[in-house]
Amino acid sequence: MTRRRALLAILCFVLAAVLFAAAVVLTSREAPAPAPAPTPAASSAAPAPTPTATPAPEETPWPSPDGGGLPLDSVIVTPAREAYESGSMRLIIPKLEIDIPILDGTSESTLLQGEGLYDYAQLPQETGGNVSIAGHRNWVRNGQITDDVPFYYLHLLGAGDTLYLVYEDMIYQYVWDKTSIIESDGWSVIYPQGFSCLTLTTCTPIGVADHRYVVRARQVDSFPYRDDYDYPAWLNIGTVNPSPIPTEEVTP
């Protein structure tokens, strides 16, 4: 009996040793490294482009003044003016829907037919020339003032508005510079001005006509005539003379 108990005790001891050894092995084994967290797949869509501001249209510079050697304090008659043939030049003002021939001279009989070139004007191809043109502001029919003449709405022209002369297979581009009201006997506006320009004169106030309304535009370009040219009505160029346009009541 004693021997049997001793054998049982040995077996229990051996079993306990085996269990202890297993526990040691299990606790000494390294824990597995955690699986890496999945990374989101890169988007296949291209990144949105950064919006860019639309650049403002570049302003056209005014050409440098060039008087062409013409006198600035008197009227003159040039050979080109003497050779002018009535109706051979056209005046185009897109904003006012004007496209008219320019007649030779400013006599009353001529101006009853249309707009005329001053006897002391220069032609657009003459450097420093002042292409000065006169025209009536209105008609009177049955005692009523009418607006069916080209120069009636000259007061609507302002900064950036373009005017054109078409002459001898060339297009001359002008941009409004100044509007003024002068005495009826003021002639300095048709003198050469020290730069190539276009001057339009008419009567004011409408129905009274004791003063003259003057629109001055500067030549900014010239190029060969093209049938398909669209005559832009405005040019981003500002104005050389920022003086306000004279106001007047204009009612047909």
Residues with catalytic function: 136, 203
For residues 214 and 170, give the distance between their C-alpha atoms in angstroms, rounded to a whole number: 25
The answer to whether residues 105 and 90 touch, using CB atoms and an 8 Å cutoff, is no
For residues 174 and 77, give the distance between their C-alpha atoms in angstroms, rounded to a whole number: 22
The position carrying tokens 């949105």 is 48
Please report, as a single letter, which amino acid is at residue 195.
Answer: F
User: What is the DSSP secondary-structure string of 64-98?
Assistant: PP--TT--SSS----HHHHTPPTT-EEEEEGGGTE
The position carrying tokens 């078409």 is 166
Strands 98-104 and 89-93: antiparallel
Token pair for 106: 């400013």
For residues 201 and 136, give the distance between their C-alpha atoms in angstroms, rounded to a whole number: 9
